[in-house]
Chains A and B, each alone.
Chain A
Amino acid sequence: MTARDDIARQREVALVDLVDRLLAGGVVLGGDVTLSIADVDLVYVGIRALITSVATAEEKGLAIAPAQGQPFA
């Protein structure tokens, strides 16, 4: 890779870390968060809310699979 490729790659990697932080970190105030930069479809937003609650429940150790000792039977 040329030196220019190196710099470009470095910028890309830094960008990935920046975007992670800007779009999902930071203080959230009451108002609107604009989704237009990331251009997210509303359908994804709704489903994400559902998935988050499932994932959170899982992390808290709540059983998701049916009980009765017959997992996935």
Chain B
Amino acid sequence: MTDSPADKLLAAPLDLDPFARDLRRLDDALTRRVRADPENVERGLAQLVLTLVELLRQIMERQALRRVEAGGLDQQTIERLGATLMALESRMEELKEIFGLSDEDLNLDLGPLGRLL
């Protein structure tokens, strides 16, 4: 039986920060921080849209990697695939910067439905 949540750590490194990073987003969800004002609504919308775009980008990138791995693509196609994905990644970085969103911001926690990415 657990007396304290900390008891649940059976083995852990000295620095737990990387593992606790999820918590900020979780904290928002748990404390019901609803985005009420217009600026936040816009940011919330940007977050949603960019998350979808990022999801699609990741799916496409994964597909491309599987194809390259499987072989049978000519050099020109590989180059074009790679250049497109590279440009997409670069554009995503720019968009994130414009809206002030981090990688964690884009990984929407949907509670019972898990995380989007």
Residues of A participating in the B interface, judged by any CB pair closer than 8 Å: 7, 9-19, 23-24, 33, 35-40, 43-45, 47-48, 51-52, 54-55, 58, 63-65, 69, 71-73
Q: Main SS of chain B's interface residues?
A: helix
B103-116 interface mask toward A, CB cutoff 8 Å, 1 = contact, 0 = none?
A: 00000111111101
CA distance A32 to B36 in the complex (A): 26
Instruction: Name the A residues within 8 Å of B84 (CB-CB).
Output: 72
CA distance A20 to B77 in the complex (A): 40
Considering the complex, give the chain A residue whose CB is closest to the CB of B114. A24
Question: A39 and B29: CB pair below 8 A?
Answer: yes
- Give 27 CB contacts A-B under 8 Å: A7-B6, A9-B20, A11-B5, A12-B16, A14-B5, A14-B6, A15-B5, A15-B26, A17-B8, A19-B30, A24-B114, A33-B112, A37-B30, A37-B111, A38-B112, A39-B32, A39-B111, A43-B48, A44-B48, A45-B113, A48-B110, A51-B52, A51-B116, A52-B113, A58-B59, A71-B64, A72-B60
Number of interface residues of B (CB under 8 A): 40
**Distance (Å) between the CB of A49 and the closest chain B CB?**
8
CA distance A64 to B109 in the complex (A): 25
Considering the complex, give the chain B residue whose CB is closest to the CB of A16. B22
**Distance (Å) between the CB of B73 and the closest chain A CB?**
9
CA distance A30 to B55 in the complex (A): 29
Given contacts A52-B113, A58-B62, 17 further A-B contacts (CB under 8 A): A7-B6, A11-B5, A13-B16, A13-B19, A19-B26, A24-B112, A37-B111, A39-B111, A43-B48, A45-B110, A51-B55, A55-B55, A55-B59, A64-B63, A71-B64, A71-B81, A72-B80
